[in-house]
Amino acid sequence: MSELHKFLFEGLPVRGMLVRLTDSWQEVLRRREGAGHFDAPLRRLLGEMSAAGVLMQSNIKFNGAVVMQIFGDGPVKVAVTEVQPDMSFRSTAKVVGELPATDNGRLPLGEMVNVHGRGRCAITLDPKDRLPGQQPYQGVVPLNDAHSQPLHDLASVLEQYMRQSEQLDSKLILAANDEVAAGLLIQRLPVEGESNLAQGARSAEDIDLAEAYNRVSYLAATLKEEELLTLDADTILRRLFWEEDIRRFPAMQGVNGPKFACSCSRGRVAGMLKGLGKEEVDAIIAEQGQVEIGCDFCGLHYQFDPVDAAELFAEGDIALPPADKLQ
């Protein structure tokens, strides 16, 4: 069962989260079967994005969707994960070329997305109940470091994002295969009055607290990918932090935990078709006999025949969601 664990280090300005997506991640891959399998490196990237997205959603108090997108000029044009406040998530990607051959199922981001150094990672916070004129918040970071050198993995990109956007030092460990997608996040919390450190106004005890994150993040970095994928949460936390005093919160699992869910519906697809306009829809029907739309996230297909299309554009019909609300 997929699960999410939150914990604090007692007396230290450090918090952590551990997620293991099992049945929910397998369902994402199963839904892709009708549309064709993604290559192994892309499946790994999407699994890591799914785990990271759940960690980021659980890390903020926000009533809306967290949408993570990786896009650029490589064979993977865009990869996206969306996580709702109830920890339901969905992930997919659009591929426009063939991925380079690999013997171990791994490819750096540069070869998948960031071929010419123009790749980006965008994190969007989309409120459920937007006020009139309110726009989603979006933060964008390059897939390169401060020296314009390519970052090779998603964890490094997201650490950079959290450092720049949230101004929180973070250590992120991610791993995924076809059975499990998992992640461990350690974050340094601000110490009150920290800006006074340079003026020597802080006690030795305060300095020790500020340095605690470095010790904990170093321990987290020793976690191997195989351990993250195969060990349960209790074993991982005990092996990594056996000398630390950890306060753990109840695990989030089942209906309260991470789960696959897709928000597509026939009504939302109808809204998209209305956004295209009657002339465009009629042209598709004249050529193909019907309009068929497939959801890239869950694999469902929606068909609209000539009668359905006529009802869409009939006068006095019920208002449908605008096209910009559709995924």
Q: Which pLDDT tens digit goes with each residue over 232-250?
A: 999 999 999 998 999 999 9
Of the candidates 158, 220, 230, the one whose C-alpha atom is nearest the C-alpha of residue 9 is: 220
Q: For residue 5, which phi and psi values (nearest 5 degrees)?
A: -120, 135
Distance CA 168, CA 158 (A): 11
Provide the pLDDT for residue 200: 45
Distance CA 73, CA 38 (A): 18
Range 177-196 average pLDDT: 80
Mind listing the domains of the chain with CATH numbers? 3-260 (3.55.30.10), 266-325 (3.90.1280.10)
For residue 160, the one-letter residue type is Q
Distance CA 325, CA 265 (A): 12
**Residue 306 tokens, joined:** 């000539």
Provide the pLDDT for residue 181: 96
Residue holding tokens 């865009």?
Answer: 78
Provide the pLDDT for residue 192: 59
Residue 318 predicted with pLDDT over 70: no
pLDDT interval class at 209 (50, 70, 90): low
Given phi > 0 = left and psi -120 to 50 = alpha, else beta, which region is 45? alpha
**Residue 51 tokens, joined:** 């785990």
Residue 109 predicted with pLDDT over 90: no
Residue 301 predicted with pLDDT over 80: no
Provide the pLDDT for residue 11: 86
Torsion of CA 244, 247, 252, 256, to 10 degrees: -160
**Residue 21 tokens, joined:** 């997506």
Among 130-139, 150-159, 301-310, top mean pLDDT goes to 150-159
Residue 290 predicted with pLDDT over 60: yes
Distance CA 67, CA 121 (A): 10
Within a 13 Å sphere around the CA of 314, how many CA atoms are in the beta-carbon half?
A: 10
Residue 186 predicted with pLDDT over 60: yes
Distance CA 192, CA 324 (A): 42
